[in-house]
């Protein structure tokens, strides 16, 4: 059964539409526990807590959504409503003003909140293309989405993964670098940045990124597996009895050598 975070969020939306707020909360808390929840999931969880009569929990989740996307107009508005209900009127007024300012801004000729909705629709279309085997079309839809919502790092993360899937490691590296610069604590994106560096042939950069990830999240088995892969490749590239390794043409042209000197396999 599909229990991916994306699938759980979709199921939670269904429960929310049926006014089963506790059911939605249960599913969304599972997503949050994975550490892979994006702004939309935190926003929906905050809204569910609010409608379930738990305003303090709602504020925590709405604040988290705004940390991930400071221009999230709906999260600003819903946070303002909750603050107002709690009697924190001055804070609520500040939220309302910020939402109004964003509402007056435009992106590609659309009000920001409309651009955000269109960006999400492009992402939905991209997922539909991907499910039908249209990888190139899916990438295009996600690129369109990011033109409308450049701060939507959940969509950028998905675009990076799609680019890796298409064998476009350098393009993927660029996307993950944007995320990591904006959100240094987003370790999933950092781990994928290391993979993009590795697949692009930059073993030294991959090692640096993954060692930083390990220092910040030592319990992550994925990072350990990546570093072990690099270590094995370093060993396999070591000359035997002092003899230099064969050039690429003598080795049958198989494998690429990154800047670390490690011979790596081409991605399938």
In this structure, the answer to whether residues 91 and 15 fall within a common structural domain is yes
In this structure, the answer to whether residues 193 and 257 fall within a common structural domain is yes
For residue 60, the model assigns a pLDDT of 94
Highest mean pLDDT among 29-33, 111-115, 211-215, 235-239: 211-215
Tell me if 158 is assigned to some domain: no
Tell me if 161 is assigned to some domain: no
In this structure, the answer to whether residues 173 and 241 fall within a common structural domain is yes
Whether residue 158 is predicted with pLDDT greater than 70 in this model: the reply is yes
**What is the reported pTM?**
0.61
Tell me if 216 is assigned to some domain: yes
The tally of domains found in the chain comes to: 3
Query: Could you give the CA distance from residue 182 to residue 150 in angstroms, rounded to a whole number?
Result: 11
CATH number of the domain within which 27 lies: 1.25.40.10
- Average pLDDT over the chain, rounded to whole? 83
In this structure, the answer to whether residues 31 and 63 fall within a common structural domain is yes
Q: Which class for 224: exposed (0-12), middle (13-18), buried (19 or more C-beta within 10 A)? A: middle
In this structure, the answer to whether residues 259 and 172 fall within a common structural domain is yes
Of 187 and 237, the structure prediction assigns the larger pLDDT to 187
Q: Which of 62-76, 148-162, 175-189 has the lowest mean pLDDT?
A: 62-76
In this structure, the answer to whether residues 125 and 204 fall within a common structural domain is no
For residue 200, the model assigns a pLDDT of 94
Tell me if 74 is assigned to some domain: yes
For residue 265, the model assigns a pLDDT of 44
Mean pLDDT of 90-116: 82
In this structure, the answer to whether residues 100 and 9 fall within a common structural domain is yes
For residue 187, the model assigns a pLDDT of 86
Residue 87 tokens read as 């009697």
Highest mean pLDDT among 6-10, 33-37, 76-80: 76-80
Whether residue 216 is predicted with pLDDT greater than 80 in this model: the reply is yes
In this structure, the answer to whether residues 100 and 134 fall within a common structural domain is no
In this structure, the answer to whether residues 95 and 113 fall within a common structural domain is no
CB atoms within 10 A of CB 125: 17
pLDDT band at residue 176 using 50, 70 and 90 as cut-offs: very high
Whether residue 37 is predicted with pLDDT greater than 50 in this model: the reply is yes
Mean pLDDT of 108-126: 86
For residue 103, the model assigns a pLDDT of 67
Whether residue 193 is predicted with pLDDT greater than 90 in this model: the reply is yes
Highest mean pLDDT among 5-14, 116-125, 168-177, 240-249: 168-177
For residue 242, the model assigns a pLDDT of 41
Query: Could you give the CA distance from residue 78 to residue 85 in angstroms, rounded to a whole number?
Result: 11
Tell me if 23 is assigned to some domain: yes
> What b/e readout covers 95-115, taking b as 16+ CB neighbours within 10 angstroms?
bbebbeebeeeebeeeebbbb
What is the domain extent for residue 202?
Answer: 167-264
Tell me if 162 is assigned to some domain: no
For residue 4, the model assigns a pLDDT of 66
202 contacts 189 by C-beta, under 8 angstroms = no
Mean pLDDT of 80-100: 90
* pLDDT over 70, % of the chain: 84
Residue 89 tokens read as 């009127």
Mean pLDDT of 186-192: 90
């Amino acid at each position: 059964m599909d229990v991916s975070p994306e699938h759980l969020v979709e199921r939670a939306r269904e429960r929310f539409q049926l006014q089963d707020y506790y059911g939605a909360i249960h599913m969304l808390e599972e997503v949050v526990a994975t550490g892979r929840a994006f702004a939309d999931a935190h926003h929906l969880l905050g809204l569910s807590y609010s409608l379930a009569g738990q305003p303090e929990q709602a504020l925590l989740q709405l604040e988290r959504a705004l940390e991930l996307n400071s221009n999230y107009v709906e999260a600003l508005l819903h946070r303002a409503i909750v603050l107002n209900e709690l009697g924190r009127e001055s804070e609520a007024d500040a939220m309302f003003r910020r939402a109004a300012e964003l509402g007056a801004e435009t992106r590609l000729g659309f009000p920001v909140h409309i651009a955000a909705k269109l960006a999400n629709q492009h992402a939905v279309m991209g997922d539909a293309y991907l499910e039908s085997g249209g990888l190139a079309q899916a990438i295009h839809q996600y690129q369109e989405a990011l033109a409308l919502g450049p701060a939507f790092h959940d969509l950028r993360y998905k675009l990076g993964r799609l680019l890796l899937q298409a064998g476009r490691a350098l393009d993927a590296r660029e996307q993950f670098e944007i995320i990591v610069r904006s959100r240094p604590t987003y370790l999933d994106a950092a781990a994928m940045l290391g993979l993009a560096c590795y697949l692009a042939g930059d073993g030294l950069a991959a090692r640096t990124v993954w060692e930083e990830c390990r220092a910040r999240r030592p319990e992550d088995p994925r990072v350990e597996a990546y570093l072990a892969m690099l270590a094995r490749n370093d060993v396999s590239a070591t000359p035997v009895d002092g003899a230099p390794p064969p050039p690429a043409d003598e080795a049958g042209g198989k494998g690429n050598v990154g800047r670390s000197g490690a011979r790596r396999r081409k991605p399938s």
